[in-house]
Amino acid sequence: MAQFRIGLAMLSLLLVCESSYSQKWVTASLPKDITIHKITSTQNQFWGVDYGKGLILNSPNGKNDWTINADLGSEYFEKIQFINEKAGFVCGDYGYVYKTTDGGKNWQEISPTIKNRITENFRGDSTKNQEPDGSFAAYYDMYFKNSQQGFVWGFVYNPAKGFRNSYQRLIFETKDGGSSWQPIKETEYEQLKSSYYKEAPKQKKHYSGTYYLNENLLWKAESNNRVQHISRSVDGGKSWQSSKLTDQDLGRFIVRSIVFINENEGYVLAGTLGKEPLKALVFHSLDGGLSWKLIENDWPHLHDAIWVDGRVWVSGRNGFLALSEIG
What single string gives the DSSP state of each residue in 210-255?
Answer: EEESSSS-EEEEEEETTEEEEEEESSTTSS-EEEES-SS---SEEE
Residue 5 host element (H or E): helix 2-10
Mean pLDDT for the stretch of residues 97-103? 97
Residues whose CB falls within 8 Å of the CB of residue 284, separated by 6 or more in sequence, listed in order: 21, 22, 265, 266, 267, 292, 293, 295
Contact 55, 36 (CB under 8 A): no
Burial of 118 (0-12, 13-18, 19+ CB in 10 A): buried
- What are the φ/ψ torsions at residue 6 (nearest 5 degrees)? -60, -40
* Per-residue pLDDT reduced to its tens digit, 181-216: 999 999 999 899 888 888 887 778 888 889 999 989
Residues whose CB falls within 8 Å of the CB of residue 271, separated by 6 or more in sequence, listed in order: 253, 254, 256, 278, 279, 280, 281, 300, 301, 302, 303, 316, 317
pLDDT at residue number 48:
96
Mean pLDDT for the stretch of residues 290-303? 93
Structure-model confidence comparison of residues 196 and 234, the more confident one: 234
Q: What is the side-by-side order of every strand in the sheet holding 241-244?
A: 205-207, 210-212, 218-224, 227-233, 241-244
* Per-residue pLDDT reduced to its tens digit, 261-279: 899 999 999 999 998 999 9
Contact 139, 170 (CB under 8 A): yes
Q: Alpha-carbon distance 213 to 25, whole Å?
A: 22
- Of 172, 244, 245, 237, which Cα lies nearest the Cα of 207? 237
pLDDT at residue number 102:
96
Contact 155, 168 (CB under 8 A): yes
Task: State the average pLDDT for the chain.
Answer: 88
* Per-residue pLDDT reduced to its tens digit, 39-81: 999 988 999 999 889 999 999 999 989 999 999 977 899 999 9
CA angle 46, 47, 50 (to 5 degrees): 135
